[in-house]
Structure 1
Amino acid sequence: MKRYLLVLFLGLTTFLQAQNTITGKVTDTKNNPLIGVVVYATEAHKSAKTNENGIYTLTELPNGEETLVFSYVGFAVQNKKIQKVQNTQTLDIVMDEKAFQMDEVIVSTPFSKLQSQNVMKVDRESVKSMQEKGSATLIEGLATIPGVSQVSTGTSIGKPVIRGLSGNRVLVYTQGIRLENQQFGDEHGLGLNDAGVENVEVIKGPASLLYGSDALGGVLFFNPEKFALANTFQGDFGQRMFSNTLGSNTTLGLKASTDNWKYLIRGAYTTQSDYKIPDGDRVTNTRFQEMDFKAGIGYSNAKFSSVFRYNYNNLDLGIPEDGIADQTTTKKTAFPKQGVSNNLFSLNNTLFFSNSKLDVNLGFIQNDRSEFEDSDVAVLHMVLNTFDYNVKYYLPKIGKVEAIVGVQGMSQNNKNLGEEYLIPNATTNDFGIFATGIYGWGSNSVQAGIRFDNRHLVSDEHGIAAEEGYFESLDKKYDSFNASLGYKTDFAKDLTFRLNAATGFRAPNLAELSSNGVHEGTFRYEIGNSNLKTEQNLQTDLDLEYKSTHFEFSVSGFYNHINDYIYSSPSGVEIDGFKVYDYIQNNASLYGGEAALHIHPHPLDWLHIETSFETVTGKLQDGGYLPQIPANNWDNTIKTDFKIGKWLEDSFATLNVSTTLSQKKISGFDIPSDGYTLLNMGFGGKVNLGKTTFDVNLNGNNLLNKTYIPHLSRLATSGIPNLGRNFVLGVAFKF
C-alpha cells in the first residue's frame, strides 16, 4: 500500500511541476544594473534577488495572471502585472529614485489589486514604520493610522476602534484567518504581537460581504512576514528598550528557502514595569509580560501553493484596580491579573488552473483566558475554540469581468472551567455564501457583490434562577443578506475618485444576550437581553485621492446608519450598590472622515511635510450621543532624509506634533475629556561599522511630559493619566 501511495504522490508531484519562467534585468535611469533588488511574485509567493549584473529569474510560476513587485532601498517600488504567464518571458525594469512609495498590492480586498486599481480605499501601514514612531505595542502603532484609535487600559491592554466602532464590530484577521479571543470584554486586548507581522491593512467600513458577521465596522488584516528568498538562509535580531516602563522587547527570527520549500521560525519576549505618569508616580499593576512564538512551512510550484503557520502567544497582565498605590519597578504581576494564551493554526492553500484558481484557507484558534483575584486559582477561566474556513473560487475572466464565488464560516465552542461565569457555555455556527465581481474599462472600475449569512447560537442554562450569575438556555438563529456596490475612476492623471456603498451586519454576542452580574473592571451590574435583534447598517464612503511624485492629498468622508444598534444604558436602579445597566437597541448614525496631506518639495528631496485630521460623530436616532466615540485629532509631522558619509545611510529625523481635541459629546458611562497636544521626535537609520550593518532608531514621545487622559482610556473614570515622557531605543540587524 505504501508503494502505491508513493507512486501516486510522485505522479501528482510530476503533474504539478511546470516550466513557466520570468527573467529580466533591473537598472536605474542611467542604465546601471541594480544589485540586490527583491522581486516578489504575489500569486505564487515566490521571490528572487538580482545578481551583480542586475539579472533576476523566477521559475515554476503558475499559468495566468501574476503581479511582480520590485523593491530596492532608495527607489520607488514598482508593480508589474503580467496577464498571461507562459513558458519563458523577459521583463526588464527601470527603477526611479523614490519620492513616495507609489503603489501597493492590497490583500484584504477581492482580486488582490494594486491600491491605484482598487475600488475600495484601504490604508496600509508597515510594522517597521509604526515602530519608528516609538510605538510600544501593536495596538499603539495602529492608533497612529488616521481613522483608527484604541480603547486602552494603561500600556498593556488595547482594543482597536475604527471610525467609532470597536469590540465585536471590528473583525481582526491574521495569517489569513479570523482572530477570535472573546472580543466582547472591555479588558480583552488584541492578543497579537508585532514580531513576525509585516504590515496591516485597514478597511474602514462594513466588510460583511467578504468576512461575514462582526465586520460591520471594519477589518484589520495583518499580513505575516514573507519567507526568505529562494535558496537563501537569513536571520535577524531586534531589541527595543523603553525608558518609562523600564521595559524591553526582544525578537529573533530564522528563515530558509529552496526553490519550492520555505521555512521560518521566530520568537519574541516583552516585559514592562508599571508605567510612570508625568508627576513621577507609577500606576500600580499596569505591568505585563508577553511571550510570542511563530513558525511556518510552505511549498509552492506552478500549480499549487500551501503555507502552514503556527502562532503561540502568552500574556501575563496585571489589572490596575488600586490606581496609584504601591510604587515598584518589578515586572512580576500582582493580583488581580489575567493569564491569556492563544494557539493559532492556519493552512492557506491555492490551486492554480489554466485560467482560474481556488483558495482554501483553514484555521483553528484556541483562546484560553483566566482571571486571578487573590491567588493562583483562577476564579474565571474560559476556553474558546474556533474552527474557521474560507473557500474562494476565482472564475475564469470573461472579457473584462472578474468574479469570485465562495463559502465561509466558523464553528465555535465556549467552555467555562472556573467557578465564576462571565458568559454561559455555548456553541456558535456561522455559514455564509457570497459572490462578487469587478468590471474595468480604461481608468474606470465597478465592483458589486451579494452575500447571505446564517448564525446559529445555542447556550446552556447555568445557575439558580433570579440570582446573580443565572443564564437561561438560548437557541437563536440570525440571518442576513448584504450587498456592496463601488465605483472608481480617475478624474485626471494622478487624481482618483472612489464611491462605495455597502451593508453590514452583526449578530448580538453572548455578553449582550446573557449578562447577569457585575461586569469586571466597570463596577456596574449588566443585564443581557435575549430578544436583541441583529444590527444592520448601510455605509456610504467617498474618497478623493491625488498622488504625484512630490505631492499627495486625500480626503475621505463617510455616513454610517445602523439599525438596532446595541448598547448598555443605565436603568436607574441598583443591585447590591451597583448601578444596573441594561442592553437595549436604538437606531444610530456615525459620520465623519479623514484628510491627509504629504508634501515632498522639489528640489528639497530630503524634506517631507505631513499633516492629517480625523473626525467622527456618533448619535442615537432618538437623541443623545453614542458612548466611546474617539475625540478629533490633528497630527503634523516634519521628516528629513539624510546620509552621513558611508557609515550612516537611509537615515531620518522626525518632529511630530499631535493635537487631540476635547470630547464633550458623551453618553452612557462616558465622562468628558479635555484636549491636549503631544510633542514627539524620532531619529534612525542604517549604521555601517566595517562589515557590520544594523538599523537603529531613537524616539522621544511626550517630550514635554504632558499630563493627559485620552477619552477612550478605561482609567479615565479614576482620573489616571497616560504615561509621561518615554524614550524608546531600537536596534535590529540581519545575519
Structure 2
Amino acid sequence: MLHLYRLLFFAGCLFTTTLVAGQGHPWVFSGVIKNQDNQPIDAAAIKITPGSRHTVSNQDGTFMLSCPTGEKMKFLEVSHLAYQPVRILLQDIENHVNIIITMHDAVQVLQTVEIYHQNLLTAMVQESQPIQVVDREFIEKNNTGTFSGALASLPGVSTMNVGVGIAKPVIRGMSFNRILVNNRGIKQEGQQWGADHGLEVDPFDVESVEVIKGPASLLYGSDGLGGVINIRADKFLEADGDRINWISSYQSNNDAFSNSMGWQGRKNNWVYGARLTHQAYGDYTVPANEFTYAGFNLPIYENRLKNTAGRELHYSVMMGRTSEHVTSTVRFSAFNQEAGIFTGAIGLPRSYNLRHENRHRDIDFPRQENQHLMLVNNNTFTLGKNKLEIDLGIQWNQRKELSFPGAHGIEASAVNSNLALGLRLTTYTANVRYQASWAHGHKVLFGGQAQYMDNEREGFEFLLPDFYSAQFGLFNYHVWEVNPKWILNAGIRYDHGQHTIQQHLQPLYDRATLQPTGEFMERTPDFDREFENFSGAAGVNYLLTPGNNIKVNFGNSFRFPSAIELSSNGVHHGNFRHEAGDPSLDIERGYQTDVTFSHESKRLLFELSAFYAYYQQYIYLAPTGRFSDLSSGGTLWQYRQDDALFNGLELMANYQLPFDLKVEMAVEWVQNLNLRTDLPLPLTPAASVLLNLEYSGFNWAHSIFSDAYIFTGAEQVFEQSRVDRNERTTPDSFILNAGMGCRIQVAGRQLQFRMNVNNVFNSSYFNHISRYRLINLPEQGRNLVVSLKVPVKL
C-alpha cells in the first residue's frame, strides 16, 4: 500500500512539471507615489487586494508590483500614516508601467490598515539574494508547537530537534552559530551551539518572518555565514482602536494544549501591544517499541517516551510612538520553558527507569529549564530622502540542565543540588544604519554593529568555562538601479572580535565511592584570542522579461570561532560524547555563489535557486578514535578545521489548476565534502520533495462558513547514505499529511478553524539530523492538530 502512495506522489510531481509552459505574463504595475506638492513619498504601503501581494515605495517614491492577469475586481491600495489612503480598480489602470498616484494629507483615517516598516537591511538584501517571506497565517497553518518547526516546510530549511518541544532551524545544511536569528532588529543570543538547545522564540508571537538563504555576513555580521532568519517588528494599526484575538490549539500525540492571547492598539501617535502564551504537553508517542543505547536494545513501553513532557509560559509587551519622521518602540519579551529529556537519552539508562507508570505529564530528571529575556529599543528617523535606524538591546539567557548526580558518576551527597550544568549569558547589542540617496537610482548604506557577552557557568558538570566576548563591525553597501531591468549592488565590511576565557579547575571523584578526592584537574586554561576580518560581496538583479527575473550573488562570508569551539572540555550529554575545544582555531571563511531564477505568470509561481560554496578552515567536531577518561564520557570528539565544499539547490513551485485546485511543490538538496578526508560533513540533511494539493472551491452562499479549504500533502525524504565516519546512514521515508480549515461567522465575529493530521499512516521514520537519531528513535507518530482563532474584540 505504501508503494502505491509513493507512486501517486511522484505522478503528481510529474503532472505538476508538465503544466509550467504556455502561461501568460502577469500584470506588472510600476510607478511613483507623490504628495500634493509633487514630492515623492517614501515607505508608502502598496498592496493588491484581495490577496497578499505587497511592497513599499522607495525613497524616490517608486514601486513595482506584479499580479496575475485575468483576475477581476482586484484593487491597488496605497496607504501611508500621513496621507489619506488611495484605492484604484486594477482594470481601470491603462498604463501599468507609468502610474502616478497622488496622495492627499490625512484629515481623518477612513479605515483600519496594518502596515509593516521594512528595515534597511531587508531592502538591500532582497536586491540580489532569495528571500522567502512567511506571515502569521503560514505559521499558524504549519503549527507544530515550535517556531523552528513551522519553518521546516520551506525549501532549503530543515529542523534539528530533540523530541517535539525543542527545535532549531537548519538552512542549506548549516545550523548552530552559522544561522543568525535577527529578532526585531537584534541578533538573538543564547546557547545556540548545542544540538539539544532549541530556538527560544514564542511561535505565536511572530507576525512575519524573512528567511535569507545563503551568505549574509556583509550586512548581519559573523553568524550570518549560512543564512538569516529575520523576525520582523510587530505591525502597527494605522487607525485608533484596539484589536484582541485568542488562539487555542490541541495536539493529540502528546496531549498538548496551547493558548495565546494577543492585543494590538493605537491612540493618536501612540502604539502598543502585548501577548501571553501558555503551552503544556505530555510524553509523546513513536511507532516503535525499543531503542538502542551503547549497543543495548532497551524497551519503549506502550510506544510512549518517558519524561518528554514540557511546560512553557511566554509573554511580551510593546509600546511606542510613530509619526511621519520618527518611529520609536520599546519591547520586552520573556520565554520560559521547562522540558523533560527522554530518560533513555542521558547517563546510564536502565529498563526499569523507562517505565512511565501512566504519569504522562510529569517532568522528571533529566530536564531543561530555559529562560530568555529580551529588552529592545527600535528607532527610525526619516531625514528627508535619507533614513537612520538605531537598535539597542539587552538579553538575559539562563539555561539549566538538571539530572541525578549518580547518573554522572557523582555521589548525591557530594554536591548541593541536582543542577548538572547552568549557563547564564548576558548580551548587550547596538546597531546603527544610515541610508542615503546619492543620485537617482543610487542608494548607499553605512552601518555599524557592536556586541558584548558575559557568560557564567555553575553546576556539578563542566562543559565550557566562564568567558567574555566582544565584537564590532563596520560596513558600507551600495545599490545602483541602472535602469528598470538592471540593479547592481556591492559592499565591504570590517570586523573585530575578542574572547577572554577564564581558567576552570574541576574536582575529581573516586570512581568506586563517587566521593570527591580533594584533587582538581585543569579542564580549561586562561587565554585570550583576538580576530579581525575584511569581507565583501557583489550581486546583480536582472529583469529578463515581465514575470521572469534572475538574481546572482557573489559573497565572501566569515565566522569567528565561538567560545565553545575554543574552550569546551566535558561531556555533552545532548550529543552522547566528550567534546573538546581547540584554542588555536582560526576564522572560518566562505566564498559563495548563488543564482536564483523566478517566474511569475497567470497561474504559475516558480523559483529555482542553486548555490556553490568553498569554505576555508571550516570548523566541525570530529572523532579522535580515543575513549574519554571522564565518567559516562563515551568517545572523545575534538573541534578541528578543514577546507570544505557545499553545493545544492532548492525549487519552489505554486500552480493554480482549474476548479480552484492549487498544487505546491518544494524540492531541496544539499551535499558537502570535507576536502581533507574526502568524506561528507556530519549532520547533513537528506534530499526531499514535498507536494501539496489544496482545494478551495467551496461556495456556501448565505452560510456562516467561508474561505474553506482542504489539502493533502506528501513528503518523500530520500536515503542519506553520504555520512561522515561514525555517523549512521538514514533510510528513505514517505509521510502523508492532510488537513482542512475555514472561517466561521459567529455573533458578528469571524473565527478561524484549522484541523491537520500529520503522519496519517503512523509511519516509522528517522530525521537524519535529529539528536534522537543517535539512539535509533523514530520521529513522532500520528498527530491530530486542531486550532481555533477567535477575535475577542474588534
Output the TM-score relative to the length of structure 1: 0.86
User: C-alpha offsets along residues 191-237 of structure 1, whole Å, 9 cap, x if unaligned?
Assistant: 11112201211111111111111111111111243133421111000
1:721 aligns with 2:778: yes
Residue 568 (structure 1) shift:
1.4
Residue 80 (structure 1) shift:
5.3
Corresponding residue for 2:339? 317
User: C-alpha offsets along residues 406-459 of structure 1, whole Å, 9 cap, x if unaligned?
Assistant: 111201111123343321111111010000010012121001110000001111
Report 1:331-480 matches (<5 A): 331-374=361-404, 377-440=418-481, 441-463=483-505, 470-480=523-533
1:485 aligns with 2:532: no
Describe the shift of the 1:517–1:88 C-alpha distance in structure 2 as closer, same or farther (beyond 3 A).
closer
Q: One-letter code of the match for 2:542? A: T
Judge conservation of contact 2:117–2:233 (CA < 8 Å) in 1.
no
Describe the shift of the 1:620–1:644 C-alpha distance in structure 2 as closer, same or farther (beyond 3 A).
same
Question: 2:121 is matched with which residue: 106, 110, 115?
Answer: 110
Judge conservation of contact 1:207–1:217 (CA < 8 Å) in 2.
yes
User: C-alpha offsets along residues 67-88 of structure 1, whole Å, 9 cap, x if unaligned?
Assistant: 3133645575575557359996
Structure 1 unaligned residues grouped into runs of 5+: 1-42, 44-56, 98-103
User: C-alpha offsets along residues 638-665 of structure 1, whole Å, 9 cap, x if unaligned?
Assistant: 0111342331111211110111001000
Describe the shift of the 1:305–1:690 C-alpha distance in structure 2 as closer, same or farther (beyond 3 A).
closer
Corresponding residue for 2:634? 578
Q: One-letter code of the match for 1:492? A: T
Q: For residues 82 and 523 of structure 2, what CA distance do their matches in structure 1 show?
A: 67
Judge conservation of contact 2:154–2:666 (CA < 8 Å) in 1.
no
Corresponding residue for 1:548? 601
Q: For residues 253 and 278 of structure 1, what CA distance do their matches in structure 2 show?
A: 36
User: C-alpha offsets along residues 160-200 of structure 1, whole Å, 9 cap, x if unaligned?
Assistant: 11101110111111121010001112211101111220121
Residue 315 (structure 1) shift:
0.6
Describe the shift of the 1:106–1:450 C-alpha distance in structure 2 as closer, same or farther (beyond 3 A).
farther
Partner secondary structure for residue 667 of structure 2:
strand
Q: For residues 263 and 457 of structure 1, what CA distance do their matches in structure 2 show?
A: 39
Number of matched pairs: 668
Question: 2:767 is matched with which residue: 689, 710, 713?
Answer: 710
Superposition CA RMSD, Å: 2.6
Q: Which stretch shows the higher mean deviation, 252-261 or 520-529?
A: 520-529
Question: 1:67 is matched with which residue: 22, 38, 44?
Answer: 44
Partner secondary structure for residue 381 of structure 2:
strand
Corresponding residue for 1:530? 583
Q: Which stretch shows the higher mean deviation, 318-327 or 299-308?
A: 318-327
Q: For residues 668 and 541 of structure 2, what CA distance do their matches in structure 1 show?
A: 23
Corresponding residue for 1:93? 88
User: C-alpha offsets along residues 665-724 of structure 1, whole Å, 9 cap, x if unaligned?
Assistant: 001442100111111011001111342420000001100110111111111121111111
Residue 520 (structure 1) shift:
2.1
Residue 496 (structure 1) shift:
0.3
Report 1:39-438 matches (<5 A): 65-70=42-47, 72-73=49-50, 77=54, 83=60, 91-94=86-89, 107=118, 110=121, 112=123, 118-279=127-288, 280-322=302-344, 325-327=354-356, 328-374=358-404, 377-438=418-479
Describe the shift of the 1:121–1:78 C-alpha distance in structure 2 as closer, same or farther (beyond 3 A).
closer
Q: One-letter code of the match for 1:112? A: A
Residue 540 (structure 1) shift:
0.3
User: C-alpha offsets along residues 121-144 of structure 1, whole Å, 9 cap, x if unaligned?
Assistant: 111122321331343321111111
Describe the shift of the 1:90–1:306 C-alpha distance in structure 2 as closer, same or farther (beyond 3 A).
closer
Q: For residues 91 and 206 of structure 2, what CA distance do their matches in structure 1 show?
A: 28
Partner secondary structure for residue 750 of structure 2:
strand
1:630 aligns with 2:639: no
Describe the shift of the 1:593–1:469 C-alpha distance in structure 2 as closer, same or farther (beyond 3 A).
farther
User: C-alpha offsets along residues 227-278 of structure 1, whole Å, 9 cap, x if unaligned?
Assistant: 3342111100000000001001100112210220011111001111111112
User: C-alpha offsets along residues 592-635 of structure 1, whole Å, 9 cap, x if unaligned?
Assistant: 0111221113x53x111111210000110121110000000100
User: C-alpha offsets along residues 306-345 of structure 1, whole Å, 9 cap, x if unaligned?
Assistant: 0111110101011114168223353231101111101101
Q: Which stretch shows the higher mean deviation, 134-143 or 286-295?
A: 134-143
Q: Which stretch shows the higher mean deviation, 409-418 or 128-137?
A: 128-137
Judge conservation of contact 1:686–1:695 (CA < 8 Å) in 2.
yes
Corresponding residue for 1:37? none
Describe the shift of the 1:698–1:400 C-alpha distance in structure 2 as closer, same or farther (beyond 3 A).
same
Judge conservation of contact 1:535–1:564 (CA < 8 Å) in 2.
yes
1:682 aligns with 2:739: yes
Partner secondary structure for residue 682 of structure 2:
coil
Judge conservation of contact 1:63–1:86 (CA < 8 Å) in 2.
no
Q: For residues 96 and 727 of structure 1, what CA distance do their matches in structure 2 show?
A: 44
Question: 2:643 is matched with which residue: 574, 587, 595?
Answer: 587
Q: One-letter code of the match for 2:371? A: S
Judge conservation of contact 1:468–1:517 (CA < 8 Å) in 2.
no
Residue 390 (structure 1) shift:
0.7
Structure 2 unaligned residues grouped into runs of 5+: 1-32, 62-79, 93-114, 289-301, 346-350, 406-416, 509-519
Judge conservation of contact 1:126–1:198 (CA < 8 Å) in 2.
yes
Q: One-letter code of the match for 1:351? A: F
Q: For residues 561 and 301 of structure 1, what CA distance do their matches in structure 2 show?
A: 46
Judge conservation of contact 1:169–1:216 (CA < 8 Å) in 2.
yes
Q: For residues 72 and 335 of structure 1, what CA distance do their matches in structure 2 show?
A: 53
Judge conservation of contact 2:477–2:489 (CA < 8 Å) in 1.
yes
Q: For residues 610 and 617 of structure 1, what CA distance do their matches in structure 2 show?
A: 24
Judge conservation of contact 1:132–1:682 (CA < 8 Å) in 2.
no
Question: 2:674 is matched with which residue: 620, 632, 636?
Answer: 620
Describe the shift of the 1:551–1:110 C-alpha distance in structure 2 as closer, same or farther (beyond 3 A).
same
Describe the shift of the 1:669–1:316 C-alpha distance in structure 2 as closer, same or farther (beyond 3 A).
farther
Describe the shift of the 1:80–1:569 C-alpha distance in structure 2 as closer, same or farther (beyond 3 A).
closer
Describe the shift of the 1:283–1:87 C-alpha distance in structure 2 as closer, same or farther (beyond 3 A).
closer
Q: Which stretch shows the higher mean deviation, 308-317 or 635-644?
A: 635-644
Describe the shift of the 1:533–1:82 C-alpha distance in structure 2 as closer, same or farther (beyond 3 A).
closer
Partner secondary structure for residue 83 of structure 1:
coil
Residue 400 (structure 1) shift:
1.5
Q: Which stretch shows the higher mean deviation, 707-716 or 688-697?
A: 688-697
Partner secondary structure for residue 716 of structure 1:
helix
Q: For residues 174 and 478 of structure 1, what CA distance do their matches in structure 2 show?
A: 26
Q: For residues 655 and 149 of structure 1, what CA distance do their matches in structure 2 show?
A: 20
